[in-house]
Each structure stands twice: as structure tokens, then as C-alpha cells.
Structure 1
Amino acid sequence: MGIHQIQIRHDETEDRLLLRFSTSDGCEFRFWLTRRFTKRLWGMLVKMLEWDRAVQQQVDPGTRRTVLDIQHEGYARQANYSKAFEEPPREAPRRLPLGEAPVLLAKASGKKRDDGVQMLGLHPLRGQGIDISLDTRLLHIFTRLLREQVARTDWDVNLALHEELGEAAPAQDAQPRKLN
């Protein structure tokens, strides 16, 4: 099960972000992200971006930031943002393993597997969530989509890749494990 498409959009009525993942095997997962959860998730996502080998190989913090910025712009340009989120035909709807209603997220976890692939866990306070694998390219694309949608809200939140530019602090060597 690989990720086929990602959509993030702000729902003004709910004042939440609606996150949708469709998979290559015909499933769709829907989640609500609150302002509070998004702010806390962002710090973990930035740390996950910094786990990349090319970033970690840099000794100088300024060089690390530069490598991260170059990666972010390069990978983000590779995505097709003009293509609408594909809605399945009525006669062949997607499977919704977590149900039709979006799941309100309360917990997230991040870890790096031995093969370098990163795992992002998204879970509600109670009940079932998902653990998805994200390569570096997909992680950069996901963070860009998240930043763009948060910028369209009235949350007064600046999701930046570096501490001096916003609220998210650059990661040290410690890996984040959980967000509760």
C-alpha cells in the first residue's frame, strides 16, 4: 500500500485541516488536524526532515539548513499540485478502512527505519489510526502542502523550517518518538 495522492484543505466551518490520503490499492484515509495538533506535529516533521543523510552529514548548522532548504525546494517542485484529488467513480468507491467521517488526530509518532524510510504514525486519542512510510521526497511534499494550507487559515501560525524564521526549532541529534 503506497500513497497515491495527498490532499490537505482548510475547512472554515470546522476550523480544522482535512487531510486525505489515497493509496495505490484503492483505500482512502481521512483525518482532522486541529490548530494545536498541527503546531505540535510541525516540530516533529521538521526533525524528520533533518534525519536525511545528506543533512546529517553536514557539521555546520548553517550548512545543514542550506541543504535542507535545497532539498525542500527541489522535492517540492517535483510534485504535481495542479492535479485535483481524484474522486473515485460511484460504481467503484474507495475503501475507507477508518470510516467515512474524518478521524480527529490527537497523537503522532515519527521514527526512521534501518532502511532509511521514515514512518509517520497518525492516531486519535482512542481508536485506530495509521502508520505510513514516507521517503524524503514525499515527506518534503507533505510538509509543503501543510505549510501552504496553514498559511490560508486565520490561525496566526507560521510553520517555518528554521527556528529563526518561525516557531519550529531545528532538531538536534535526538529523534522524536511521540506526540501526545
Structure 2
Amino acid sequence: MSIKQFNGEWVCQQDRVLFRFNTSEDQEFSFWLTRYVLQGLLQGAQQLTVQALEQVHPPQVAQVMQSFQQASVTQQLNFQETFQAAKEKPMGEAPLLVTGLMLNQTGDEVTLKFDLESGKSVEVKMNSSVLNVMLALLDKLQGVANWGVGLAEADDVSPSLSTPSGSPVIH
């Protein structure tokens, strides 16, 4: 299953994000994401990306690189494109409530498993660039919802520099 397009909106009455994607096989999947699940997805995916970058870069460099990659993806996205509904909805018409998730990465492929309230699960595989597009959309939606669980910026994840204790030196 290859993802073709993402779509989402924050639904105020539900205080949830309606997240949809369609595939190149003309299938559509719809999910309700709570604040808690969305926070776990954003943080988990960000950690996964940083860990992959740490395989070839020092940790601080990996964190900054991840932040720059995400910012670059966000700037290039087209949020105006109309979502194209798919012909098939294998999980049904109604959005399904996601109660948990699992992320794994093997090489450049990321596996995202949504655990559903019904006890079923949906597993999706994507490359890291598609993951970054999904994260950019979800980060924007959490911002609209004013949830405060967005992606950490490079400044947020890098250690802060402090001056040695004592009196400041003035020249």
C-alpha cells in the first residue's frame, strides 16, 4: 500500500483531529486522533528520525538536521490541494478511533501501526520523506487545535549554553 495523499482537519466539537489518507490502490482510510495519540505520533516519529540520523552524525547535529529537514518539507507543502476521495474504504465510511500506535524504522522505510478502538489495527509503510509530509500536516493541525504538542524545534532539543557562575566580566 503506497500513500498518495494526506488530509486532515481539527473538529472542534470532538476536540479530535480527523486524519485521512488515500493510496495508489484507490483506497481511503479515516481515523480520529486524540491529543494524546497525536502527541505520541509526533514525538515518536521525531525521535525515530533523529535516531536514524545519529547513525551517521553526532547527536546534536542529527537533531538540528532533523529540524531543518522538517522545516524544509513544511515550506514546500501545498495545503490548498483538494483531497481526492478514493473508491474503496476497506475499514468503512466512519472514521476509526486510534487508541495507540507503534513506529518502527528499517533503513529508509518507516512502519506505522494504528491500534484501533475496535481491537483491529492498520499498518502503513512509508519512506521517511512521506513520513515528514504527514508530520508537517499533523503538526499544523495540532497548532490549529492549540494543543501545544507540536514538533520540537532545534532550539528546543539542543542543550542550552550557560556562562560559568560568578560575576560577569565587563570589558
Corresponding position of 1:141: 133
| 8 Å Cα contact 2:22/2:28 also seen in 1 | yes
Corresponding position of 1:108: 101
Corresponding position of 1:58: 57
Return 5+ residue gaps in structure 2 as ranges.
159-171
Shift of 1:55: 4.6
Shift of 1:129: 2.6
Shift of 1:163: 8.3
The superposition leaves residues 21-69 of structure 1 with CA deviations (integer Å, 9 ceiling, x where unpaired) of 10111110000001122122222111222243x453111x331122112
The two structures have a TM-score, normalised by structure 1, of: 0.78
Corresponding position of 2:92: 99
What root-mean-square deviation, in Å, do the aligned CA atoms of Structure 1 and Structure 2 show?
2.2
Query: Which of residues 124, 130, 144 in structure 2 aligns to 1:132?
Result: 124
C-alpha distance in 2 between matches for 1:159 and 1:70? 15
Query: Aligned pair count?
Result: 158
Shift of 1:132: 0.8
| 8 Å Cα contact 2:18/2:31 also seen in 1 | yes
Matches within 5 A, 1:1-180: 1-52=1-52, 54-59=53-58, 61-87=59-85, 94-113=87-106, 115-155=107-147, 157-162=148-153, 165=156
Runs of 4+ deviating beyond 4 Å: none
| 8 Å Cα contact 1:32/1:103 also seen in 2 | yes
| 8 Å Cα contact 1:21/1:29 also seen in 2 | yes
Return 5+ residue gaps in structure 1 as ranges.
89-93, 171-180
The two structures have a TM-score, normalised by structure 2, of: 0.81
| Structure having the higher Rg | 2
More strand by share: 2
- Secondary structure of the residue that 2:137 maps to in structure 1? helix
Corresponding position of 1:178: none
